[in-house]
Amino acid sequence: MKDEKKYLGVAVPRPRVGFFELSSCEGCQLQLLNNEASLLDFLGLVEIVNFREGMKEAADDYQIAFVEGSVTRADEEERLHKIRRNADLVVALGSCACFGGVNQLKNRFQDQEWVKKEVYGNHPIASQEARPLSAFIKVDLEIYGCPIKKEEVERIVTNLVLGKAVNHPKYPICMECKAKENICLFELGEPCLGPITRAGCDAWCPSNRLGCWGCRGPAPEANIAELKRIVAKRKIPLERLLDRLECFGGFAGEAGKLRLALEAAK
Same domain assignment for residues 49 and 126: yes
Residue 4, pLDDT score: 59
State the DSSP string of 152-167.
Answer: HHHHHHHHHHHT----
- DSSP E strand boundaries for 69-152: 89-93, 141-143
HSE-up (13 A, CA, CB side) for residue 95: 28
Q: Give the CATH number for residue 29.
A: 3.40.50.700
Shared domain for 108 and 229, answered yes or no, is: no
Residue 1 is predicted with a pLDDT of 39
The answer to whether residue 144 sits within a structural domain is: yes
The upper half-sphere exposure of residue 158, i.e. CA atoms within 13 Å in the direction of its Cβ, equals 12
User: What pLDDT band is residue 10 in, cutting at 50, 70 and 90?
Assistant: low
64 and 185 assigned to the same domain: no
SS3 92: strand
Based on the fold, state whether residues 99 and 156 are members of the same structural domain: yes
- My answer on whether 158 and 193 are in the same domain is no
147 and 54 fall within a common domain: yes
Cα–Cα distance list, 243 to 175, 204, 212 (Å)? 23, 19, 12
**pLDDT tens digits, 14-53:** 899 999 999 999 999 998 888 777 777 877 889 999 999 8
Q: In which band, very low, low, confident or very high, does the pLDDT at 232 lie, cut at 50, 70 and 90? A: very high
110 and 187 share one domain:
no
User: Percentage of residues in the chain with pLDDT exceeding 90?
Assistant: 74
Same domain, 31 and 155: yes
Residue 197 has pLDDT above 50, yes or no: yes
Q: Are residues 38 and 111 in the same domain?
A: yes
**C-alpha 222: how far from chain center:** 18
Number of folded domains in the chain?
A: 2
Cβ-based neighbour number of residue 65 at 10 Å? 25
Residue 70: CA count within 13 A, CB half-sphere: 24
Regarding whether 133 and 181 lie in a shared domain, the answer is no
pLDDT at residue 7 in the model: 56
**Phi, psi for residue 205 in degrees, rounded to 5:** -75, -50
Whether 204 and 114 share a structural domain: no
Instruction: State residue 2's pLDDT score.
Output: 45
- Residues 134-186: pLDDT tens digits? 999 999 999 999 999 988 988 998 898 888 899 999 999 999 999 999 999 99
Rg (CA), the chain: 20
The domain in which residue 254 lies consists of: 173-265
> Residue range 204-219: average pLDDT?
96
Say if residues 255 and 246 touch (Cβ distance below 8 Å). Answer: yes
In a domain, 154, yes or no: yes
Pair (49, 157) in one structural domain: yes
Cα(117)–Cα(120) distance, integer angstroms: 5
Nearest to 146 by CA among 68, 256, 77, 245: 68
CA atoms of 18 and 6, how far apart (whole Å): 22
Nearby residues of 173 by Cβ (< 8 Å), 6 or more positions away? 193, 194, 195, 197, 198, 199, 201, 203, 206, 212, 216, 219
The percentage of the chain sitting over the pLDDT mark of 70, rounded to a whole number, equals: 96
Q: Tally the C-alpha atoms within 13 A of residue 105's C-alpha that lie toward its C-beta.
A: 11
Element (H, E) at 30: helix 27-34
In the chain, what is the straight-line distance between the N-terminal and C-terminal CA atoms, in Å? 69
Please say if the pLDDT value at position 92 is more than 60.
yes
CA distance readout (Å), 167 to 10, 19, 137, 250: 23, 22, 21, 19
For residue 78, being part of any structural domain is answered with yes
- 23 assigned to some structural domain: yes
